[in-house]
Every structure is written in structure tokens, then in C-alpha cells.
A and B are shown apart, each in its own frame.
Chain A
Amino acid sequence: MSGDATTASAAAPEKPPRRPMSLQLKVGLAITGTMVLLGLLAPWIAPHPWDTISMRTRFLAPNATYWLGTDEYGRDVLSRLLMGARLSIAMGVAATVVSLAIGVPMGLAAGYFRGWTDEVLMRLADILMAVPPIMLGLLVLAVTPPALWKTALAVGFVYIPLIARIARSVTLTLANEEFIQAAKARAESNWYILFREILPNAWPPLLVEASLRVTYAILLGSALSFLGLGAQPPSSDWGLMISEARSFIDRAPWIALAPGIAMCVLVIGINLLGDGARERLDPRLKARIGKR
């Protein structure tokens, strides 16, 4: 028999060894996990009611009962913070889901079909990207009474072109792979190729990018709330909390500092997680999305 590669290699069923998680990834996972957990459990673990106004306890500095102090209506800042965590996370995730749901199919189609489909979709994305995100959000929210879900929707809408571009560049890379030609050579439908051959390979980098997008969404959403175009009082959205605390900075800085620092920690956590996960991606795809 001609040279047979199997005899020796059958004895070596080596899977490339799983790389140990980087410190970056571990810290990111720990922070994000804790924040998500705190947000989920907020109603049960909050030490005080988050929305009960009490004139007797106004502007208390952090102490044994109120760990992070109280605000101008005498509400416990820590409890409000915990309730705000769920709002921020939900807002970031919801907005990202919106932009993924529309952006990914757009990008897949543009990258796979090329030609005029690509041209039309990507010029559309260019136009949306010609307005700074916050202005686009303001524009959408300006004409309708503010509410948090509308903010999430608007933020999601704003980031569609970004997601579409990433999805497109990943698809472009994958569409050049020979296994796509192999699928065409057995007369597979475009539908099958897009969703059974390309998408399973595209989702890891897309999810990584999406996780980083969550932080954009959280920051943009809170900025809109800060400007009064998102959550409305008495909500404990972090952006709104900071906005309301502005007038008392010299008297009671803790009311503004607490949500500000909480937001930083959450965003840093998600960024570490996303960057750590990106490090572990297939280098070929990493090169493509790294350019963004």
C-alpha cells in the first residue's frame, strides 16, 4: 500500500492543549459576573427600599446604616445603585440585541452577495455613520416623549452600521474560504451557505465585538438619560442619578460619585472580558476585526 499516514497519527489523537485563561479574561469575567449577579438579585439584597422618600434622612454621608449615604430625597444610594445596575445592563444588552438583530443579517448579505447589495447596504451604513451617534440618538428621541425602552431602541439603532460593518468584514473573510466553494460545488442554496456554513464561524468574533458594543450602549444610554432623554425620575438609572446629583456636588459628592464609579467598574469589566475573549479568537478573523 502506498504511504499511509494513518498508522502513526491514529496513535496521536492530540487536541491542541486548551490555553489557560489570561488574567485579563479572568478579571473581566469576575467583575462582569458580579455586576450582573448584583443587578439580578437587587430587589432581594438591597438593604433599603430604593424609591421611598424620607425627608428625615436627606443628605446623610456614608455611615453604618446607609453604606453609601442618602440622596436629596433621603433615599439609600446603595439600594438605588443596585437597582440601577439592572437598568444599565438591561439597556446595554437590549440595545446590542437590536443592533445585532438588524446589523448581522445586513452584514452577512453585503459580504456574501457583494455587488449592488453590498453597495446599497454599506452606503446606507455610511450615511447613518455620518452623524455622531449621540446626535442620532438625540434626533430620534427628540420627537417622542422619553422612556428608557425608547432609549435602548434608539441606541441599538445608532450602532447598527457598526455591527453591519464588522459582520460584513468577517463574512468577506469567510466567503473566500474554500469550504464555501465546496458548498457551491454541491449546489447548496445561498440560504444554506449563509446560515449553515458562514454564520456558525462568524458568531464567535461577532459576539466578542458585541460584548464590547454593550459598553458603548451603556455609556451612550446613560448620557442620554443624563440629558433627560432616557429614564425619567424617580428611576434609579445611573445617568439620571448623576444628573440629579449635579446640583449637590459640593454638599454631597457621594450621590454622584457612587453611580459614576459603579459605571466605570462595569464598563471596565466588560471591556476586559471582550478584549480577553478577542485574544483567543482565530488569528485570521482577529486580523480582520482588529482593524476597526
Chain B
Amino acid sequence: MLQIDDLTVRYRTPGGVLEALSSISISAEKGRTLALVGESGSGKSTVALAAMGLLPQEAEIASGKIVFDGRDIGAMSFEERRQLRGSRLGLVFQDPFSVLNPSLPIGEQVGEGLVHHRGFSKAQAFERAVELLNEVGIVNPQAVAKAYPHELSGGMRQRALIAGALAPEPDLLILDEPTTALDVTIEAQILDLLEQLRTSRGLTMLFISHNLGVVRRIADEVAVLYAGQIVEHGSTTEVLHHPVHPYSKGLLAAIPRIGLKQHRLAAIPGRLPDLRKPPSGCRFITRCPFATPSSDAPQTLRQVGERKVRCANAEPLRDTPWPRPEQVAEPIDLSARNQKPIVSVTDLTKTFRLGGGWRFDGWRPRKVETLLTPVNAISLDIRQGEVLGLVGESGSGKTTLGRTILRLIDPDAGTIRIGSETISDKPQRELEAMRRTAQIVFQNPDSSLNPRKTIGELLARPIERFGLVPKAEIPARVRALLDLVRLPAHYADRYAHQMSGGEKQRVGIARALATEPKFIVCDEPVSALDVSVQAAIVNLLADLRDRLGVAYLFISHDISVVAHLADRIAVMNRGELVEIGDADTVMNNPQHPYTIKLLSAVPRVDAAMQART
């Protein structure tokens, strides 16, 4: 159906020419699903744009061709290409929040492909749009078709986008991270929908994702991309269950798995090579634990058994697993850990008033208020040195809860005790002692470090603020902190923009540790990071807990990460705590229907492959 041959794409950037894709060759067979897998910077989205002929101006196809249904897309005229797009080639984008036109009704946007490709009248197209919306599982299609994008939730928008791409009945659908912006339960519904469409319509799909669990559910074949090259390409079962290329092995080993509690996760050290001057040899060499001197030579993608692998040592490495992380010192005494709670929250409630204002009831003005209660009568304890995992979907109130406990948001009702101090009713200026004991690590490493300060200044400030050591000893303290999060001492002179995402997150952790806290709120600390980096940060947090005996409230939407790290798990839904208990109990024997639904929706990479037709 779609065949990409030897495709190389370069981007002109201010810092030089960047080779985003190097000699990529893939083909999607009719009625089958091919997944392109890779982390950020792998070039996977460029493949989608190139196939659609939608590359931005600064991109250039240096070599290769894209053949669709026997015709070379590159050789077509602009008009021919336009007629192909939409009608035979559909594209679904990653972010459902910005790809719908804010000032056109949904129905029109779903049906417009029919008007331009299939000669429908506007009224016919609208009617068909309503049918399609119904088909993709929207409950009230008539009303939704007349609505505008801002009136719809993320899941509904993604369904509408899929309906729009399907409308002219294309032969091939390219999906670029179609579920990444969505919650797991919505993600599961969208994946079911795609699977069902595939069987009912014989759709061919090119599915682009970083999430191996999702890929496992949907794809027949997988191509793993690393730094603009395909490193491994084969059937989903083979690649995901018995990876051969070292990068695939590392990627799979780094994923925390539900039901398999490891002491530490495997992680891939280092970072992507600079694609402005790509290495001539193996691009994974600096991060590869199996590298030999001969790996320096250029690697080719070659047949190894049923699959293709870009590694000269593929055969000897076939059954060698990614090295297991070594066991660190035994955790501090478990019994000591279970003594008394360091944090104790009772009936905590926070209500926001939204969009308060005057509306008109006929001619009578009336005060309206929308109330939102993201934290509703929540009670929980966190013991010394314990990790309490807090799971919930977007909008469940988990971040608000974390910040309210630290009094970064003032509660409306309930009590908070940290250590031996009740802090819920104290004014901000009397919270100094608590602010030393309780700290926070944030989600977004780009936003959590002041870009105008050096790392040294960032780490020195809390020490200075609380007068923890004499001034002369501060530099030594900073070095000790950097060492604690395994960053070299000379990083003290750097600025945030000179570091990678994972390194920035380490600095964020070091800053929280600077005041020698007993309790840290970790607010989605790994969700902005790639899987291989995420594993290293999770391990670091685990090590620090064991060495320093700090307690965490570990907030995440990713249940597998929480399950890996937490001693106990709390589940939040719409501001309420629906379930809390021992990690193993919650994972293996969930009681609340919401927890059960959440757990069953998580795409697992190690689940059995579905039977495919």
C-alpha cells in the first residue's frame, strides 16, 4: 500500500543542518498495521509528515522516494498530491486540542473531506458526519456535530478527528501518537475503536508511538527508530518479546511492569547523539553496554532470522538480556519505617470558584458560580520513609492535593499535620519549619529551574535561606548534593538550558533535598521524560529513599511507575479518594470499580498477543 524507500530528510536549523531521517525504508501492507516506535528525537513524526507531503519549508528530502499504491508521490504535481491527501491517505494528529479549527462546527470539519473529494453537498456531508460521529462512539452525534471544538473533551475531539480522517474512506490511515494526550481509560476506548475499524473496513494503518504497551495492542509489525535510523524491524511478537538490537532491549527493560516488582529498573545511560553531525558508525555506541571496538564501523540493517536488525553483533547478542541493575544497599529497616506518620491529613477539602459572574434569567440578573472541588474530604497518612503512590487521571485533583498538603494552595477545610506540627491553620509566615521538613519536586524540568541562575546558585539558595551551614561551607554542600543525585561537581557552573531533561530533573531533586527534608511531594516527576531516562530517575528516587529515609507522596498518572515504586497506593477520581491500600493489594485485588477500570485500561507490553486475523 505505502512504501517508503531509502528516505533521508534534513532540516535546516539555526545551528546547522540536522539529519532527522537517514535512509528509512518501510512498507505498510494492505489491511495490516505497522508501528513506528521511538523516543523523542528519533524522527518518527517526520515520517508521517513526509508520507503526507506536509513537511515544513525548512525540511528537505535529500534522497529516497515514497510510493503509494504504485505511484511515486514525489513525482506527482501539487494538485495530484492534494487529491490523494484526505481521500486515500488519512492523517490523525497527536494533539486533539490544536488541530481542530476553533471557529468551525465539528460536523463541518468532519464532513468537509466528503465535499471536496467525493462531491457531496454540504447538507449531505453534514448528515454523513453525524453518522460517522455515531460510528466512532459519540453518544449525542447530532448535538456534537453542531458544537464547536472548545465545547468538547479531549477524548471526544480525538474521536471527531478520527471520524474526519475516515470520512472519505481512505485506504491508509497514518496515526501520529493518537492517544498520547489522553487518559488511559480514553486511550483504551480509542484503541478498541481503531481495532474494530480495522476489521470492519480492512484499513491499513501506520501507527506512530513511543508507548510500547499501546503498540503491542494494535500493531502487526514494529519498526524501532533510533536517532533517525531503523534499528530493528520485525513482527510485533518477535520484537517486543525477544528484542535483538541493544536499544530495543534497553527500551523494553526500562519499562516498569505491573505485576513484576523489581528492585530497580534497567535504564539506558547517556543521550541521543547530535544529529547535526551524526556519528558515521553505530549511533547507539556511546550508550550500549555490549559495544565492542568493531561497533565503530558503519552498521547496516540486515536480515537476522525473521527480522531486520542494525547491529553487527546481532547473532551473539540474540539471547543476552540487557544488564540488570546491580542491587544497592538493603533498604533501611522496614519495621522502623512503619512507626508513626510523618504526614497526616484529615478531611482535607479545597474548592475553587470558577466563572463566577452575573447571568440573565430573562431580564432578572442572577449570580452564578461554578464550583470545582478537586480535593474533597480526603484523609490519608504517610509514614516515615514510606512511598505513597497517588494515581488518577487528568482532572482528578491529585496535583491540587499535593500542593494543598504543602500549603502552596490554602485548604478550605480539614487538618494537615506534618511531623508534630499542625500546619493547616497557620498563616504562611509561620510555616518556615514546615517548609524545611517538606519539599516538592515538579513535573516539568524546563519550567522548574530558573533559567537565569546557575545550578550552583539554585542549590545554594535553600541552604542559605534556612542558614543550614556557615556561608563558607555552602560550595561543599552544593557539591555533596550534586553527588547525591549523581551529577559531576562542575555542573554547578551550568545553566538549565545546557542540560538534558533527565539532568534537569536530577537538579530539581537535589534542590528539594537541600533542606534535608523528611517528606517530598513528587508531582509527576517522570512524566515529561522519555522511558529510558524515566527509569534512571525512578531508580534515583528509590535509592534516596533507602539511603536518607525520606517519605514521598509520589503523584503520577502512570500506574506502572507508581506500582513499581510505591509501598502503598491511593487512587483518586474527581476529587475523591476511592481506594487506598497496600501496593500489592491494590494492584492485584482492586476493590473499587474505578480502580478496576483504570487497571484494565493500562496497555501492558508483556501481556499475551491478541489473536489476529
Q: Which residues of A contact B (CB under 8 A)?
A: 1-10, 12-17, 19-20, 177-179, 181-182, 184-188, 197, 200-201, 282
B588 at the interface (CB under 8 A from A): no
CB within 8 Å for A178 and B269 given contacts A2-B543, A15-B498, A17-B16: no
* CB contact between A178 and one of B431, B435, B444 (< 8 Å): that residue: B444
Establish whether residues A5 and B533, one from each chain, have CB atoms under 8 Å apart when the complex forms: yes
User: Taking the nearest CB of chain B, how far is it from the CB of A203, in angstroms?
Assistant: 9
Establish whether residues A187 and B465, one from each chain, have CB atoms under 8 Å apart when the complex forms: yes
Residue of A nearest to B406 (CB): A185
| 0/1 string, B477-493, CB within 8 A of A gives 1 | 00000000011100000
In the assembled complex, the Cα of A16 lies from the Cα of B451 at a distance in Å of: 14
CB within 8 Å for A16 and B497 given contacts A8-B286, A9-B503: yes
B325 at the interface (CB under 8 A from A): yes
CB within 8 Å for A179 and B488 given contacts A2-B264, A7-B270: no
User: Taking the nearest CB of chain A, how far is it from the CB of B424, in angstroms?
Assistant: 16
B209 at the interface (CB under 8 A from A): no
Establish whether residues B16 and A182, one from each chain, have CB atoms under 8 Å apart when the complex forms: no
* CB contact between B443 and one of A3, A15, A178 (< 8 Å): that residue: A178
B4 at the interface (CB under 8 A from A): no
User: Taking the nearest CB of chain B, how far is it from the CB of A169, in angstroms?
Assistant: 17
B362 at the interface (CB under 8 A from A): no
Establish whether residues B408 and A1, one from each chain, have CB atoms under 8 Å apart when the complex forms: no
| CB under 8 Å from chain A, chain B span 389-409 | 403, 406, 408
| 0/1 string, B448-477, CB within 8 A of A gives 1 | 111111000000011001100000000000
Could you list 7 A-B pairs, sorted by A, with CB under 8 Å? A2-B535, A5-B502, A10-B488, A14-B274, A14-B498, A178-B442, A187-B465
In the assembled complex, the Cα of A41 lies from the Cα of B338 at a distance in Å of: 78
User: Taking the nearest CB of chain A, how far is it from the CB of B325, in angstroms?
Assistant: 5
In the assembled complex, the Cα of A201 lies from the Cα of B265 at a distance in Å of: 37
Establish whether residues A182 and B440, one from each chain, have CB atoms under 8 Å apart when the complex forms: yes
User: Taking the nearest CB of chain B, how far is it from the CB of A10, in angstroms?
Assistant: 5
User: Taking the nearest CB of chain B, how far is it from the CB of A140, in angstroms?
Assistant: 36
* Count, A-B residue pairs, CB within 8 A: 121
Establish whether residues B435 and A187, one from each chain, have CB atoms under 8 Å apart when the complex forms: yes
Residues of A within 8 A of B511 (CB): 182
Establish whether residues B268 and A3, one from each chain, have CB atoms under 8 Å apart when the complex forms: yes
Residue of A nearest to B263 (CB): A2
In the assembled complex, the Cα of A200 lies from the Cα of B439 at a distance in Å of: 24
Establish whether residues B287 and A185, one from each chain, have CB atoms under 8 Å apart when the complex forms: no
Establish whether residues A8 and B270, one from each chain, have CB atoms under 8 Å apart when the complex forms: yes
| 0/1 string, B526-544, CB within 8 A of A gives 1 | 0000001101100110110
Establish whether residues B442 and A182, one from each chain, have CB atoms under 8 Å apart when the complex forms: yes
Residue of B nearest to A22 (CB): B14
User: Taking the nearest CB of chain B, how far is it from the CB of A232, in angstroms?
Assistant: 45
Establish whether residues A3 and B269, one from each chain, have CB atoms under 8 Å apart when the complex forms: yes
Establish whether residues B448 and A187, one from each chain, have CB atoms under 8 Å apart when the complex forms: no
The list of the 7 closest CB pairs from A to B, nearest first, reads: A3-B267, A8-B270, A2-B539, A178-B448, A3-B536, A178-B442, A187-B435
In the assembled complex, the Cα of A13 lies from the Cα of B492 at a distance in Å of: 13
User: Taking the nearest CB of chain B, how far is it from the CB of A107, in angstroms?
Assistant: 18
Residue of A nearest to B434 (CB): A187
User: Taking the nearest CB of chain A, how far is it from the CB of B285, in angstroms?
Assistant: 10
Establish whether residues B431 and A187, one from each chain, have CB atoms under 8 Å apart when the complex forms: yes
Residue of A nearest to B441 (CB): A182
Establish whether residues A188 and B465, one from each chain, have CB atoms under 8 Å apart when the complex forms: yes
Residue of A nearest to B287 (CB): A8
CB within 8 Å for A6 and B488 given contacts A179-B448, A179-B449, A185-B439: yes
B266 at the interface (CB under 8 A from A): yes
Establish whether residues A181 and B502, one from each chain, have CB atoms under 8 Å apart when the complex forms: no
Residues of B within 8 A of A2 (CB): 264-265, 267, 325, 328, 535-536, 539-540, 542-543
User: Taking the nearest CB of chain B, how far is it from the CB of A282, in angstroms?
Assistant: 8
Q: A5-B486, A178-B444 are in contact. List 12 more A-B contacts (CB 8 A).
A: A1-B326, A1-B328, A2-B540, A4-B536, A5-B533, A9-B499, A177-B448, A178-B448, A181-B403, A182-B440, A187-B431, A282-B451
Establish whether residues B286 and A186, one from each chain, have CB atoms under 8 Å apart when the complex forms: no
In the assembled complex, the Cα of A10 lies from the Cα of B488 at a distance in Å of: 7
Establish whether residues B452 and A201, one from each chain, have CB atoms under 8 Å apart when the complex forms: yes
* CB contact between A6 and one of B254, B435, B465, B486 (< 8 Å): that residue: B486
* CB contact between A7 and one of B254, B269, B447 (< 8 Å): that residue: B269
Residues of B within 8 A of A15 (CB): 498
In the assembled complex, the Cα of A227 lies from the Cα of B466 at a distance in Å of: 60
| Chain B CB within 10 A, most for which of A19, A185, A188 | A185
* CB contact between A4 and one of B443, B447, B486, B532 (< 8 Å): that residue: B486
In the assembled complex, the Cα of A8 lies from the Cα of B448 at a distance in Å of: 24
B271 at the interface (CB under 8 A from A): yes
Residue of B nearest to A197 (CB): B450
Establish whether residues A179 and B450, one from each chain, have CB atoms under 8 Å apart when the complex forms: yes
B432 at the interface (CB under 8 A from A): yes
Establish whether residues B15 and A187, one from each chain, have CB atoms under 8 Å apart when the complex forms: no
User: Taking the nearest CB of chain B, how far is it from the CB of A185, in angstroms?
Assistant: 5
